[in-house]
Amino acid sequence: MKLVVDVGNSRIKWARIDNNRLANSQSVAMQGDTGFILDYHWGNMSPPEAVLVSNVAGKEAEQNLQTWIQKNWGIDPAFFRSTATYQGISNEYARPEQLGCDRWAGLIGARSLLEHGSLCVVDCGTAITVDALTADDRFIGGIIFPGIDLIQQSLLEGTSDIVENRAEFKQVLGTTTAEGVSGGSFIGVAGAIDRALHEMYAILDNPKLYITGGDAPLLLPMLTKSLQHEPDLVLLGLAHTLK
């Protein structure tokens, strides 16, 4: 058994690889002591043969994870990095190594699902990313903008008398300030995704659209285009490179 791990800015997600297939993916918020969280969720797990990690949460998170795995499983985890190429997919970022490794893994995962044709990956996490892959396997760039939590946080920090309301979107016109903030953040993000995909259609030839990330289930019903929900897309890309 092998393990693939996706460490984001607010959550950690993982899945086993059994017989070259993802199994039993799980996710938990990364709040509080990392060691305690990993003890609780991984403490009774059988040691894997190998661990591959995509981490965008910084050096401290990487070090904490590495220390726990070495101490408890006696192995050194590998950390996935963005590269200039992978199996024919070219990364046309100005500096390929600076592309978020989760975005690179997501594109690899999407290509493993769609052998031919252009595609876009929408990742709805703390930040929203929309990335484009051409039919001839060139990652030609993407868009990054704040997610729902970051929009609400900016309102909380930049105004007075506004309270956080991380509720599911229910109506366009809020009759309380909290409802207005909730509605505005959801509509703003959904509208930005729709606009980004509109621009992608002007660049790519009828791309296949994939959506992933923690907020994908909430945003998907609000989008005007048809997207395929793949909640484990980053893990799928990691698993593909670990074979």
Active-site residues, by number, are 102
C-alpha–C-alpha distance, residues 65 and 54, integer Å: 11
Residue 95 DSSP label: S
C-alpha–C-alpha distance, residues 187 and 170, integer Å: 11
Q: Are strands 127-133 and 119-124 parallel, antiparallel or unpaired?
A: antiparallel
Of 83, 39, 30, nearest to 61 by C-alpha is 30
Residue 167: phi and psi, rounded to 5, are -105, 160
Of 45, 44, 64, 62, nearest to 53 by C-alpha is 62
Residue 10 DSSP label: S
